[in-house]
Structure 1
């Protein structure tokens, strides 16, 4: 089955909640204000509670309590708030594509772990809007659930085949594309911003890792996650391929700090969104 058919299956099966589209519309309207955004989010009490819990979590580490959406907008900005809403939506999407072939709780935990590592690495390299890396890390392997649900037999062959091929190469061998490429294309079809879907779409593209720091950082976070969460198979994975090392802007100390942070905080954050 082609990538386009998996993307079509995903986008027809699950659509972004209206609140995501409306928030995006407010952010893209130069006439809109922070109050407009706050009023919109406040209409959904459950979403408001989750966003405030995330704003007060270790993701941001504010010195004082953030007790209102308006204060959250003033402190972290509208784009950061939008990214938190997308992260919350991701959990719903993961559940929608649940399949017996994948341990959903582990898949969600690993995805949040990747997001935590990616955010910390982005922060260490002084990239603006580091919270978007949290969202990208979470969404990078969304398509694995989509593929397993749509093509269970093909996915079973993929996970059961024991060989020495790198993960991305195995995915291309079995499906003709990588999971990150499929995930990024799904995000593009959902009309998420370019800064979210483009790095996900090309995370396994080595030539782009050398040219785009966002892609290099996301690829590094993915490798760190594989090394830490799949120690039986990926403990010896090479983290700093030449292109990633040259363009990520981080070093081994930054990676160690990101791992320490993710090891300590991922369970708390994943439960806040779950």
Structure 2
């Protein structure tokens, strides 16, 4: 089964839920209002709770507590709101994966850390669309879920070999495609924008990105920083040549990035 067939089979089995589709339609409608988005969110208790916990976390650094869904929607932005809904949806779609194949709690936590690092790296590089970087980080490894669901025996064997920056090459050797390629294909079939799909597709080789090279490089750096073994010196983190330059960053921003992530990360654990 090639990457296109596998992504199509996942899409057919796991259609996106109504709440996400409603939010995405409103987000894409220039005539929609914050009130309309808030009405959809308010109808879902789990999403409302996640949203309020997020905007009241140190990530946003607000001086007063937010208890209004409408204000929370206004603060978070439509892209990040849709990503929250999508994360909850994906968690439900793949909740039946055996722990022997994939530890979902650890999986989502790694994605959250990647999202936080991507956003803070983007902030340091003054990249426009920080919310999109956060969403890309959350969804960068969705192909791993799809492979684990559709090909659990092979995926389990591949997972045993995952331990470093060359993991994607082992995935290609086993499946003939990487999790990044599968995830990007699936997100494209679900109608996600190219500005999100391309950085995910090119996260291992950011120089391949044609339309969103900066975002692809930032996501690449975030994934490599998060996956580096504990105690790895900054200069020893394995990144592609010219990735820092492509991201318009210098490695010396890492101390500030890690500090900001450390402030926000504990609150994000509560969202999982």
TM range, smaller chain:
0.7 to 0.9
Post-superposition offset of 1:165: 8.3
TM-score with structure 1 length normalisation?
0.86
Match of 1:133?
A: 133
> Quick check: 13-22 or 27-36, which moved more?
27-36
Cα RMSD between the aligned structures? Answer: 2.9
How far off is 1:226 after superposition? 0.8
Alpha-carbon distance between aligned partners in 2 of 1:122 and 1:165, rounded to the nearest angstrom = 21
* Paired position in structure 1 for 2:172: 172
Given that 1:121 and 1:258 are in contact with CA atoms closer than 8 Å, whether structure 2 keeps it comes out as: yes
1:120-150 Cα offsets, whole Å, 9 max, x none, are 1111112223122222112111221321232
Matched with 2:186 is 186
Distance in 2 separating the partners of 1:47 and 1:164: 34
Higher mean C-alpha displacement, 260-269 vs 113-122: 260-269
Q: Look up the match of 1:219.
A: 220
C-alpha contact 1:143 1:182 (8 A) present in aligned 2:
yes
Judge which range, 78-87 or 13-22, deviates more.
Answer: 78-87
Give the aligned partner of residue 199 of structure 1. 199
Offset of 1:179 from its aligned partner?
A: 0.8
Instruction: Provide the residue aligned with 2:85 in structure 1.
Output: 85
Give the superposition deviation at 1:267: 4.1
Following TM superposition, by how much is the alpha carbon of 1:178 offset from its aligned partner in structure 2, in angstroms?
A: 1.3
Unaligned 5+ segments in structure 1 are none
Specify the alignment match of 1:251 in structure 2. 250
TM-score of the pair, normalised by structure 2: 0.86
**Alpha carbons 1:158, 1:171 under 8 Å: kept:** yes
Alpha-carbon contact 1:99-1:149 (below 8 Å) kept: no
Q: Which residue of 1 aligns with 2:116?
A: 116
Following superposition, the deviation at residue 224 of structure 1 comes to 0.5
Name stretches of at least 5 consecutive residues in structure 2 with no aligned partner. none
Aligned residue pairs, count: 271
Superposition pairs of residues 6-17 of structure 1, within 5 angstroms: 6-17=6-17
